[in-house]
Amino acid sequence: MLKLIGRRLIQMVLIILVASLLLFVIFDTPQFKKRLAVQELGGFAVSALSEADYQEWLASRGLDVPFYQRYTDWMGNILTGDFGFSYEKNTEVGPLLASRLANTGILALCVFALMIPISLTLGVLSGMREGSPLDRSITFISVFTTSIPEIATAIILTVVLALGLGWLPAKSAMIQGFDVKQLVLPVMTLVIYDFGYVARMTRASMAEVMTSQYIRTAILKGIPYRRVVMKHALRNALIAPFTVIVLQLNWLLSGVVVVEVFFEYDGFGKLLLEAALFPDVEVVQACTLAAVVVAVTSQIISDVGYTFLNPRIRFS
């Protein structure tokens, strides 16, 4: 167990290191240095700059030292909490990223709080009796909802609930402070897109357990069906969905971009996109690195959790 966690941790650090190296390398080209100069000095000043002056500017910014030295400096800064400076927002990246990540965290929390019970219930119900009308309709609904991309779900929900019926605000910019009503549409969009996948995974796992021998034995022993499902089947059937749910965190970080942009919710995804379009290189790097760390951590949690929950592996 400990050995597994240790190996996973080493792998995680390696992956984050390689990812950060890649991130640093692709934004280290002369064009991006020039863009940085334009952002700092202004376009006119840069075009008037002579080659020698430009080199001097590079030296003053510390951009002419060898690559590996700058990379280690950059990593060191990040480890001490200095993520750089955002030229678009004119603030430090660290606090900016933290507040946006917190906003996205609220969104993600609501999504998980709704998505987990819905998808597990539907998955267990349809996996309990494979091929029944209930199973077929749940499967069809989950294929259908996962087929509609988030942007389309967002549009349909906005048009019906916000523009048509006027029950909910169409945008979630939260200009006048936090408002739960504005959170409903983005959360609904993400849940509708996501629950189908988890429900199908739960269904597959449940269906597999229900065909196993110990369940047949339990039924033949005369235990009531309800009790067989609740006490015997569920425990084993919910191990696989657990890993899937934790891995959804990785997916949520990419799904959240379009939803936040469409609803103008000030979260991590909107920050990343705005930075990418501006372009605000240090914000892009910080956001991406944060996303990778979250994603890799969720992978480890799901791996370790799986081995911990599965008694066959735990006791071997």
What is the binding site for other proteins (CB under 8 A)? 11, 14-16, 18-19, 22-23, 26-27, 143-144, 146-152, 155-156, 158-159, 163-164, 170, 250-251, 253-255, 257-258, 261-262, 269, 272-273, 276-277, 279, 284, 287-288, 291-292, 295-296, 299
Sequential DSSP letters for 235-259: HHHTHHHHHHHHHHHHHHHHHHHHH
Smallest gap from Cβ 256 to other proteins, in A, equals: 8
Per the CB < 8 A criterion, the answer to whether 249 and 294 are in contact is yes
Residue (164 or 177) nearer to other proteins, CB: 164
- Which residue type occupies 219? I
Smallest gap from Cβ 85 to other proteins, in A, equals: 18
The Cα 211–Cα 214 span in angstroms is 9
Provide CB contacts within 8 A for 148, sequence distance 6+: 156, 192, 193
Residue (104 or 218) nearer to other proteins, CB: 104
Smallest gap from Cβ 29 to other proteins, in A, equals: 9
Smallest gap from Cβ 193 to other proteins, in A, equals: 10
Q: How many CA atoms lie within 13 A of 17 on its CB side?
A: 8
Residue (184 or 272) nearer to other proteins, CB: 272
Smallest gap from Cβ 60 to other proteins, in A, equals: 26
Smallest gap from Cβ 279 to other proteins, in A, equals: 6
Scanning the structure block, which residue is given the tokens 């890649």? 22
Which one, of 192, 184, 55, 178, lies nearest residue 118 by Cα? 192
Residue (13 or 45) nearer to other proteins, CB: 13
In the three-class reduction of DSSP (H, G, I as helix; E, B as strand; rest coil), residue 137 is classed as helix
Smallest gap from Cβ 23 to other proteins, in A, equals: 7
Residue (22 or 313) nearer to other proteins, CB: 22
> CA-based diameter of the chain, in Å?
89
In the three-class reduction of DSSP (H, G, I as helix; E, B as strand; rest coil), residue 28 is classed as coil
Residue (16 or 234) nearer to other proteins, CB: 16
* C-alpha distances out from residue 109 to 104, 114, 186, 248, Å: 8, 9, 12, 12
Residue (96 or 296) nearer to other proteins, CB: 296
